[in-house]
Amino acid sequence: MTARKIDAALLSTMLLPFGVADVEISPSRALSLCCSRVLAMSLIRGVDEAAITNRVEGAGITGHLAPEVARTLLDELDAHENTWKPNTVLAVARAAERALSLSERDIPQLLFRAIKEQASALKLLGRFDEALRETERAEAEAARTEATEFNVAIVRYCRAFILCEVGRTLEATSLLTESRITFAKYGDAVRMEKAVTFEATILYREKRYDEAMALYRGALMAATERGDEQRAALELGHIGHCYTRKGDLKSAREYLSAASGVYRKVGMLVPAARLLRSLARITFRESGRTSLFDDAAATFNALGMIGEWALTLLAHAEEVKERDAGADVSDICRKVYVRASRAAMVVTAAEALEMLVDSARASETTPDLVRMVAASIDAAAMEIHEFAVN
């Protein structure tokens, strides 16, 4: 049976998730939980994203209820990991931290979670320096929890993702390996699987697509066996992205279409936007139309995801140059370089810079401003490439 048929069979035999048995609790405890949930949900629903944190102040959260409000907010974040906008995640995570500051008790287990979620959201928003600072705060709180080793590993895994985004791949890989060892020690199969996917993503960025697909397929099988539909859809999408880069457009469409169905059903915003970028590559190769690149870039811009926006424009420039080596993509590359360099996306900035310099030198019609920029940043290009390699 071919790998594609095996993947299709896995998806078709998806297991239903198992429920969790009810736990008996006292009436007073039940009332406390009910009140805290009502307060927490009032902060989330029907409120402008920027105002969520401010609403905590006027929500009437007492010291007794504060930890349960924070716990509910963090549980909601976990439940909507792939469906909320990054700005919403950031606002809710900050609201959870603020609620904990009103608590009568010191609960580092919840505080480290709240701060770590802020770091993850800031990463998606391309605010990498802030994200790294938040991981330092999160690790300090994780070190105060009972499960210190495990919780520190969670934070370092988050930091590894951020470091990968800014081109510090060796540091990221070291932290990833360290985290995987800890997750294995504690028997956390789900986090082990996510770590495998992260390793595959590093391989994907190094253009080692066959190796990446092998890992993605293993993660797909694990997700399917435990009935995790969302995770399985993500892995299908990852495999589709690999096929896109390999030029197998038929297989790419099959996998991306399978993933898209789940994305639409459950509202997985970020994966859906990434899928749109791959579809833009496919459409351009087939017809030369660029409108899907514009749609994908606009989607990431609306989500506030500057890093993904930059990657989308860079993908557009790559496809144009692949079709016509003499095409002038300097305007696209200049936009990417400016935003990627500001976000400390070293590798992306270096790739855009290389294309920008080549385009500027090769074209007499290139605007004077771009030629001037190209001439002035040759030294910077060398430094960026050296940093990316190291």
pLDDT tens sequence for the chain (390 residues): 566 555 544 444 332 332 333 444 444 444 444 445 555 565 565 456 666 666 665 555 666 778 888 888 898 888 888 888 898 889 889 988 988 888 888 999 999 999 999 999 999 998 999 999 999 999 999 999 999 999 999 999 999 999 998 888 899 999 999 999 999 999 998 899 999 999 999 999 889 999 999 999 999 999 999 899 999 999 999 999 999 999 999 999 999 999 998 998 888 999 999 999 999 999 999 999 999 999 999 999 999 898 899 999 999 999 999 999 888 888 898 889 888 888 778 778 888 888 877 766 655 545 555 555 555 444 444 444 443 433
Find, among 188, 231, 292, 236, the residue nearest to 82 by Cα.
231
125 near 90, Cβ under 8 Å? yes
Find, among 126, 154, 125, 124, the residue nearest to 141 by Cα.
154
Burial class (CB in 10 A: 0-12, 13-18, 19+), 357: buried
Within 8 A by CB and 6+ apart from 358, the residues are: none
Distance, in Å, from the CA atom of 208 to the CA atom of 199, rounded to the nearest integer, reads: 11
**Distances in whole angstroms, Cα of residue 277 to Cα of each of 210, 243, 315, 316:** 20, 13, 8, 9
356 near 337, Cβ under 8 Å? yes
Six-digit token string for 61: 């959260």
Tokens 């006292």 found at: 26
pLDDT for res 379: 44
Burial class (CB in 10 A: 0-12, 13-18, 19+), 12: exposed
Tokens 């074209």 found at: 363
List the helix and strand counts (H, then E) for the chain.
20, 0
pLDDT for res 388: 40
Tokens 């520190």 found at: 152
pLDDT for res 4: 56
Sign of torsion over alpha carbons 206, 212, 215, 216 = positive
Six-digit token string for 338: 């400016």
Task: Return the axis-axis angle of helices 169-185 and 148-165, rounded to nearest 10°.
Answer: 150
Q: What is the dihedral of CA 174, 178, 179, 182, to 10 degrees?
A: 170
For the beta carbon of residue 149, count every other beta carbon within 10 angstroms: 12
pLDDT for res 360: 63
Letter for the amino acid at 220? Answer: L
Within 8 A by CB and 6+ apart from 267, the residues are: 83
Six-digit token string for 28: 């007073």
Rg (CA), the chain: 23
Six-digit token string for 22: 């009810």
Residues of 91-111 as b/e, b for ≥16 C-beta within 10 angstroms?
bbbbbbbbbbebbeeebbbbb
Within 8 A by CB and 6+ apart from 232, the residues are: 10, 11, 14, 220, 223, 224, 262
